[in-house]
Amino acid sequence: MRLKLVTLLLAVFIVLAGCSSGGNTEEDASANDGDSNKENLKIGALFPLTGSLALLGNESYEGIKLVADVVNEDGGINGKQISLVKADAPDATAAQSEANRLISQEKVPVIMGTYASGLSLAATQVAERNNVVYVESNAVSDEITERGFENVFRITESASMQGDAAVNFTNEFLAPDFGVNTDELTAVVMHEESSFGTAVATEIEKKAEEMGIELLSIDSYNSETNDLSSTIHKYKELNPDIVYATSYINDSILFIQQAKQLNFKPKAIVTTSGGYALSDFGKALGSDANGVYVADAPANPNEEALTEKAIELKEEFTKRWEEEQGTPLTGQTWRVINAALVMFTEVLPNAETLDTEGIRNALKEVDIPLGELPNGSGVKFNEIEGQPGQNSRAEIVMMQWQDEELNLVWPDDFKTSEADNSLLFNE
């Protein structure tokens, strides 16, 4: 009988772990439904639309849909209307089965996704096995493009590029601002334990070592945690100059809230993307968010860094997004919009054939200089050793929470505001 209870509880954990894996399917004909299917070009859009990642999953989908709408209103891709096929992937198992469905039943020539790295790793595997192009718009784990897959392309930056930016910013701005040499600084690294956090932390560790920053502690944790106070107590004793943190939303709010509460005040908190870059983070923390640095894909860079066409696009999309969604357009959504723009206005119109080979070749040919995309990025593949599918021209910048909003503060040619270390936990 006692076994029964154990079995029962085990069954529950398994059920709970898998319970969010419902498959939502819905075809979203973005244009006139009257068109026959031949005139439509089906594109798979795979995101976590339900479950714990749903917030940004849905926002990502809306980003792609906005670009598809705009392109369709302008006549589509070489006369074909884009029809997005929506796939819901709340967990890795669902990501695989939905990728399978998009390929075998919907017969899409290209899938776009995925927001979360764990889901992307699962879905891209299916695409590669079935020889279908997968374009990653906003999951950043390096592993996605490190596996030597020839059909997987990522238009946004990789996690290691984020980690890189965090340490470069420390070297170029923080150290001089503190009035010390970079190799005199001490730091701790706190990261959530999934593929995303681990990849960022690994890069920070490597890069910090090169620069001579002393790392006092590296801590991983589960992003669903209810409490981070123990880690904060530990950091209080270690007293580092800088905390590097990578988190999802729930834990990012918890960390800053508890750090403030427990009176832990390092000289700077340098975070990378994830929860720290979200408007919900600012809303939840109010003025306590001020001063936190976030390395992220740029949103609203200084217009001097952009070409005229990019400024136009930036204004058009910002306006339409705010009209339709009623929220500000964040760096995270810009990633998706960029990816969709590249696919719908550069890659697909120029592909000789709309099959895997044609699209793959068109992707390899893309050559968009820096500053041509509305967030200041460009696109070029095949330039990074070991990661041919990674866009080497994805920009990554440093933002800071100031007056309860995110402002771009580094590098100098992108910045719209000045970085200020005194803002952190300032009453």
Q: Are strands 81-88 and 25-29 parallel, antiparallel or unpaired?
A: antiparallel
Alpha-carbon span 399 to 161, nearest angstrom: 15
Burial per residue of 117-127, b for 16 or more beta-carbon CB atoms within 10 angstroms, e otherwise: bbbbbbbbbbb
Pairs from 300-305 (Cβ < 8 Å, separation ≥ 24): 300/408, 300/416, 301/375, 301/376, 301/395, 301/397, 301/408, 301/414, 301/416, 302/408, 302/413, 302/414, 302/415, 302/416, 304/413, 305/371, 305/376, 305/413, 305/414
Which of 230, 353, 416, 426 contacts another protein by CB under 8 A?
Answer: 230
Q: Is 326 in the site for another protein (CB under 8 A)?
A: no
Which of 52, 93, 392, 421 contacts another protein by CB under 8 A?
Answer: 52
What backbone torsions phi and psi does residue 207 show, to the nearest 5 degrees?
-70, -40
Between 274 and 378, CB nearer to another protein: 274
Between 12 and 180, CB nearer to another protein: 12
Is the separation of the CB atoms in 195 and 121 below 8 Å?
Answer: yes
Structure tokens at 21: 């894996």
Is the separation of the CB atoms in 203 and 163 below 8 Å?
Answer: yes
Between 48 and 388, CB nearer to another protein: 48
Structure tokens at 246: 């990578």
Q: Supply the DSSP symbol for 297.
A: S
Q: Which residue has the tokens 């995925």?
A: 114
List the interface residues with another protein, window 209-228 (CB under 8 A): 219-222, 224-228
User: Residue 271 forms beta bridges with which residues?
Assistant: 245, 294
Between 324 and 413, CB nearer to another protein: 324
Give how far the C-alpha of residue 209 lies from the chain's centroid of Cα atoms, to the nearest Å.
25
Find, among 294, 280, 282, the residue nearest to 405 by Cα: 282
Our CA dihedral for 125, 129, 130, 136, rounded to 10 degrees, sits at 30
Q: Is 179 in the site for another protein (CB under 8 A)?
A: no
Between 51 and 358, CB nearer to another protein: 51
**Which one-letter amino acid corresponds to residue 306?**
L
Interface region with another protein, contact rule CB under 8 A, candidates 10-18, 298-306, 338-346, 360-368: 10-18
Q: Is 93 in the site for another protein (CB under 8 A)?
A: no
Q: How far is the CB of 140 from another protein (least distance, A)?
A: 20
Interface region with another protein, contact rule CB under 8 A, candidates 46-54, 93-101, 155-163, 350-358: 46-54
Q: How far is the CB of 313 from another protein (least distance, A)?
A: 27
Which of 1, 38, 79, 385 contacts another protein by CB under 8 A?
Answer: 1
Alpha-carbon span 320 to 315, nearest angstrom: 9
Q: How far is the CB of 19 from another protein (least distance, A)?
A: 6
Q: How far is the CB of 226 from another protein (least distance, A)?
A: 6
Q: Supply the DSSP symbol for 163.
A: H
Between 8 and 179, CB nearer to another protein: 8
**Which one-letter amino acid corresponds to residue 341?**
L
Alpha-carbon span 23 to 20, nearest angstrom: 9
Binding mask 244-283 for another protein (x = CB under 8 A): -----xx--xx--xx-xxxx----------------x--x
Between 155 and 289, CB nearer to another protein: 289
List the interface residues with another protein, window 13-32 (CB under 8 A): 13, 15-16, 19-20, 22
Q: Which residue has the tokens 């002393």?
A: 214
Q: Are strands 110-113 and 152-154 parallel, antiparallel or unpaired?
A: unpaired
Q: Is 427 in the site for another protein (CB under 8 A)?
A: no
Which of 93, 100, 229, 318 contacts another protein by CB under 8 A?
Answer: 229
Q: How far is the CB of 269 from another protein (least distance, A)?
A: 15
Q: How far is the CB of 402 from another protein (least distance, A)?
A: 18
Q: Which residues bind another protein (CB under 8 A)?
A: 1-2, 4-6, 8-9, 11-13, 15-16, 19-20, 22, 50-52, 54-55, 57-58, 193, 219-222, 224-231, 233-234, 237, 249-250, 253-254, 257-258, 260-263, 280, 283-286, 288
